[in-house]
A and B are shown apart, each in its own frame.
Chain A
Amino acid sequence: MSLPADLRDLYQQVILDHSRNPRNHGQLEGDCLHAHGDNPSCGDEVDVWVKLDDAGAISKILFSGQGCAISQASASMMTQKIKGKSRSEAASLTEDFRRIVTGDGEASDADQLGELQLLEGVQKFPQRVKCAMLAWRALEQALQNSEA
């Protein structure tokens, strides 16, 4: 089957694997931070639960949700990468990720993004940026809730 390269880049095997078998999937109980994110226009939903340790680093993170392969894979890959990060590290990782999926600037630390760089293919599909960013916006929201 011949497919445009853009589409193959968008749906790489790693991304499809994360969407089929999401990591860190579930719901945290007890004292934790939580935020819900959705894209009303397409109906994608994601919930992110975060637990911070005494130093303020992310010690546990789980997500649940339903939506397209991009939104669910991005959420799954995010939870793997974000665990153990401090609040400021999480913020700069989020900004770097936003840059690579929108194509709006270069990542400040591409190595740190690691596997997440596979989602760079979203750049060619501007309507899907909101899918890739869904879980990240929820994470930001959850962390902001804790500051309030």
Chain B
Amino acid sequence: MRDWTQIRQEFPILDQTVQGAPLIYFDNAATSQKPTPVMAALDHYYKCDNANVHRGLHELSARATDAYEDARAKLAKFIGAGSPTEIVFTRGTTESINLVVHGWAAHHLNSGDAILLTEMEHHSNIVPWQLLAQTRQLELRFVPLLDDGTLDMEAFDRLLDAKVKLVACVHISNSLGTINPVNEICRKAREIGALSLIDGAQSAGHIPVNVQSIGCDFFAFSGHKMCGPTGIGALFGRPKILESMPPWQGGGEMISRVTLEGSQFKLPPYRFEAGTPNIAGAIGWGAAVDYLNQIGIDAIDTRASELTTHALTRLPEVPGVRILGPMSSRGSLVSFALDVAHPHDLVEFANSRGLALRGGHHCTQPVMRRFKVPGTARASFAFYNTLEEIDAMIDILLDARKFFG
């Protein structure tokens, strides 16, 4: 049994009042808060070890390089990759997806090929594909959603034919909370010879993730949604596929030899890391992995489920609330609409009571259209939140209903 009260104290930002009320931070799906050890790692790096990586022969550069590569190794282990060389550092999930688009798809897909996405993708897993599809005459297909916010897997089976060369799918939907059957999706993709990309922005650091058991070819994720800093993310790729990909950005750090006539490039992952990387971000992210491992990812998952279940149990007490997404097998977030208040008005009201919710389309406009709502309010939980905070949210929503009703 973890001492969640003590763990919460490691997040100093939570101990403040907003608009005269204790802060209740329920916007964790947008970005998580950072524990003291992560901030200490950033502080230590800049105070003691700051230098550029991979280039210097001096002591500080060696320390910075060790810490940066150590973070890569921690991340590889954290998601079950075979080797640290399968982890490419990026700015975040969005850039990781764009790396697959420009580094792999742009070189391997031809006119008439199809990419299979789903209707619940974040805009970051739709728009890059649309941009590529326009220039390459690719066909984009979308797996429709059932009314409970899960994927229509019968439709998936129909849409997955020989023309499909890549299946790209979100692991946990940021607007519905749905946990998708990614193992099945990747297996079926593999059976027809298509590659698979999983958007793990909401899953890594929240539920146990192992890229080997998922069976994906690419896995994109971000540091800041799992207690790490912003501006750092990674792409896992299978070694043979990464090796087959040409560079996507040129610059220092990614070359082995440059002449005026041409250049030779390093092996992955360095081939895809042009320029000075986000060294501090990677080191801070590594510290976040240590921190989450110390609590235990299973314990984190259980705690977040407990909070989510409590919210799903209590929300129906608010008249006029409509919950979107499945009632089981759900990530730690709940999207809902209130009949008498637009999400922005509801979020404004909540803010006046110190409650941070998110309101709007959550970068998933097709999902909002599918469920015929202009947007939703979303409460997303982390292991450092409490059952009492959820009770306080229910009181605030009941008051909002009186106010707007």
Contact = CB atoms under 8 A, between A and B. Distances in A.
A4 B374 contact: no
Q: Which 7 A-B pairs have the closest CB atoms?
A: A68-B344, A68-B342, A7-B352, A69-B345, A1-B399, A4-B352, A68-B345
B375 A43 contact: yes
A89 B156 CA distance: 58
Contact of A67 (B342, B365, B402): B342
Nearest to B343: A68
Interface in B255-286: none
Interface string A1-23: 10110110011000010000000
Given A3-B352, A7-B348, A69 B403 contact: no
Contacts of A42: 344, 359-360, 375
B19 A69 contact: no
A66 B403 CA distance: 20
Contact of A128 (B19, B341, B348, B360): B348
Interface in B367-381: 368, 374-375
Interface string B359-397: 111000100100000110000000000000000000000
Contact of B349 (A7, A43, A66, A128): A7
Nearest to B347: A68
Contacts of A66: 374
Contacts of B402: 1
B361 to A, nearest CB: 5
Contacts of B348: 7, 10, 125, 128
A41 interface: yes
Interface of B: 19-20, 341-345, 348-349, 352, 359-361, 365, 368, 374-375, 399, 402-404
A94 B341 CA distance: 27
Interface of A: 1, 3-4, 6-7, 10-11, 16, 41-44, 66-70, 125, 128, 131
B343 to A, nearest CB: 8
B345 A11 contact: yes
A69 B20 contact: no
A68 B348 CA distance: 10
Contact of B404 (A16, A128, A131): A16
A1 B403 contact: yes
B345 A43 contact: no
B104 to A, nearest CB: 30
Contacts of B19: 4
B324 to A, nearest CB: 15
B403 A131 contact: no
B352 A6 contact: yes
Nearest to B341: A69
A1 B343 CA distance: 20
A7 B402 CA distance: 14
B305 to A, nearest CB: 30
A69 B352 contact: no
A69 B349 CA distance: 12
Nearest to B20: A4
A132 to B, nearest CB: 12
A131 B360 CA distance: 13
A4 B352 CA distance: 7
B399 A43 contact: no
A45 B268 CA distance: 46
Contacts of A70: 344-345
A68 B341 CA distance: 8
Contacts of A6: 352
Given A42-B359, A43-B365, 7 more contacts: A1-B399, A3-B352, A3-B403, A11-B403, A42-B344, A43-B374, A43-B375
Contacts of A7: 348-349, 352
Contacts of A41: 360
A3 B361 CA distance: 27
A68 B368 CA distance: 15
A65 to B, nearest CB: 10
